Amino acid sequence: MKRPDASFDENELRYLKLLSKSFPTITEACTEIINLQAILNLPKGTEHFLTDIHGEYEAFRHVLKNASGSIERKINDEFGDTLRESVKRDLCTLICYPEERLAIVKSRESNIDEWYLVTLIQLVKMCQRVSVKYTRSKVRKALPPKYSYIIEELMHESLSDPNKQAYLNNILSNIIELDRADDFIITLCDVIQRLVIDSLHIVGDIYDRGPGAHIVMETLMNYHDVDIQWGNHDILWMGAAVGNISCMANVIRICLRYGNLRILEDGYGINLVPLATFAMEAYGDDPCDAFQPRLKFADDKHSDKSTHLISQMMKAISIIQFKLEADIIKRRSEFEMADRNLLHLVNYEKGTVMVYGKEYPMLDTNFPTVDPADPYRLTPEEEELVGKLHRSFVHCERLRRHIEFLLSDGSLYLVRNGNLMFHASMPLNADGSFKSVKIDGVAYAGKALMDKVDSLIRKAYFGEQGTPEHSFAVDYMWYIWCGPDSVAFDKGKMTTFERCFIADKEPHKEPKGHYYILREQESVCDMILDEFGVKGVNRHIINGHVPVKTIKGESPIRAGGKMLIIDGGFSRAYQGETGIAGYTLIFNSRGMQLVQHEPFTSTRQAIEHGVVIKGTRLFVDFNKERMLVNDTDNGEEIRGQIAALLRLVEAYRNGFVKER
């Protein structure tokens, strides 16, 4: 190791004196250098990538617990042909669902103590297997305090060593005799789940469609290492939380459309009674046929009466949404979205609407709350309703906690270990160059555009209320949801009105930005990766947002392997189009694997029948030599820490800093 230069400037000495508080002697600094050097030579930890969860908590939980099949692979690595396939499957199910599986086993096993002993030995071996990538210090921090000493003893001793056999067997026997076997098994299973994945990346769209986004958020908040790249649906909820009433209307409409009132009422305590009351009064005799909810995949069962009420509520909030959006469009002419205002183009006598110069008959012609002379004005009843909904959203403590977590552990994009992750798009021109997008009068493109939008999202939440900057940021939250140059949307228009009121499919089309086509080209992907400073031979862009239609022959691997589209396909509403339940991605020390999932049936079936991860693995990159921590971004940070500690040692030795 090269000895550092013994000269120090004033700023460096100030830093080294601060560092000396943590490492007050040469011995302690050298010990840390040795430790960090050793860490650099460990295999890199496994990264797990998921996207487009869309509130499907059970499927998300299943994939998370299985780590997209990583636990099953670790069991095969450890036990190979020494265990029957059925035994390995049962062990995998136990690790993923310990409480539930234990209840089944105890109802079937005639000699439960023998089963306990065999299972504890298997679980200890699995703990040893999944901990080999980590230092003892990191493993110790991952252990629950109540059993940390016992687990450490078991993990760091060989179960086959004759010198320790009696000692280790005595520990396991006492666990069983003292009636702690169930609790200890559950703890070991949790440790295995904790250690098999080093970090989790959620590449956007936790919210909407499914009923359990709030439960997903609670799970993520308790996860040991997670980051989130916001999707358009996440940003919509973030906009609602900061008080954008157009975002609130969109959130409510989407929940109604998929029959998922539970997340609003039970998850976040949003009071929908005022909306239901208003809808029944305004649309009492209206069948609202054009606003029938999509209940096929809803968890909650609805009677004909409740379905009709949901239709009325959806129509009521949709009309309010169009009026509220028109107000933003008028206030923010720079958004250039006046073509999205269509209520004034309705011929209320003929029952038609003019869209881009063509007249279309309308599916619904009953507009009791619309004044043809002033169609975008809210009625007094609508204004009162909007005020109540606004208060429900902005004063919801649980929603505030979740949004603050999204802001603290999330961002619009992330670069990590040669991968650039963002949910949807990077606005491009037709020639493949970065598109210049004006925000508040200033042009941004590429990375600068992403950074600007990220800062606006944070300003909408943390900015000083009442200032022009804060008001613009709050309005821009809605633009990110549906604006033509939005990095989270990037389509010519969002045709909500047309889909509600026009049968003809032609005006439903939402022209995609150039990115969605050009990302198939390696040169374009390389240009984007260069723009974000992504290094390495095997570097990738990782997107979600657009479901991969495997049923039509589409592949998640594009642009010669530079582009990976891993829309998770968790949303049951998409699976008829895709033919699968989407993809997740595993990046371990051996390389990258895409896991193609079959539709998830139920947690109960997984537990009772040992159904783990059904799917196909696709190799993206495979390393001949294992990737080490030294090869990662964390390795670069550690090398910087080592360099600083070497300077501290030199400062000690030359008397510039005094040992304590």
Query: What are the average pLDDT values for consecutive 10-residue runs of the chain, which has 660 residues?
Result: 75 95 97 95 95 91 90 92 92 93 92 94 94 90 91 82 80 93 96 95 94 95 97 98 97 94 94 96 93 78 87 97 98 96 95 95 96 96 97 96 98 97 96 96 97 98 95 98 96 96 95 96 97 93 86 84 84 64 87 82 74 63 85 96 96 93
**368 plus 288 within the same structural domain:** yes
Residue 442 domain-assigned (yes or no):
no
**140 plus 21 within the same structural domain:** no
Q: Quick one: pLDDT at residue 3?
A: 63
Cβ count within 10 A of residue 545: 22
Q: b/e map of 554-573 (b: 16 or more CB within 10 Å)?
A: eebbbbeebbbbbbbbbbbb
Residue 228 domain-assigned (yes or no):
no
**251 plus 388 within the same structural domain:** yes
Strand order in the sheet with 583-588: 410-411, 226-229, 199-202, 47-50, 583-588, 591-597, 615-622
Residue at which a domain ends, from 361, 393, 425: 393
**166 plus 281 within the same structural domain:** no
**28 plus 73 within the same structural domain:** no
Residue 352 domain-assigned (yes or no):
yes
DSSP 7: -
Residue 189 domain-assigned (yes or no):
yes
Q: Quick one: pLDDT at residue 4?
A: 66
Residue at which a domain ends, from 159, 181, 196: 196
Evaluate the CA torsion angle 392, 396, 402, 407 in order and state its sign.
Answer: positive
**73 plus 159 within the same structural domain:** yes
Tell me how far apart the alpha carbons of residues 402 and 202 are, in angstroms, rounded to a whole number: 15
Tell me how far apart the alpha carbons of residues 577 and 388 are, in angstroms, rounded to a whole number: 38
**Residues in CB range of 519: below 8 A, 6 or more apart:** 525, 541, 543, 558, 559, 563
**285 plus 379 within the same structural domain:** yes
Tell me how far apart the alpha carbons of residues 216 and 237 are, in angstroms, rounded to a whole number: 14
Structural domain including 122 reads 69-196
**255 plus 125 within the same structural domain:** no
Q: How many separate domains does the chain show? A: 3
User: pTM for the full model?
Assistant: 0.93
Residue 122 domain-assigned (yes or no):
yes
DSSP 656: S
Q: How far is CA 599 from the centre of its chain?
A: 19
DSSP 29: H
**255 plus 135 within the same structural domain:** no
**188 plus 88 within the same structural domain:** yes
Residue 414 domain-assigned (yes or no):
no
Residue at which a domain ends, from 166, 196, 226: 196
Q: Quick one: pLDDT at residue 578?
A: 59
Residue 601 domain-assigned (yes or no):
no
**254 plus 387 within the same structural domain:** yes
**252 plus 359 within the same structural domain:** yes
Residue 376 domain-assigned (yes or no):
yes
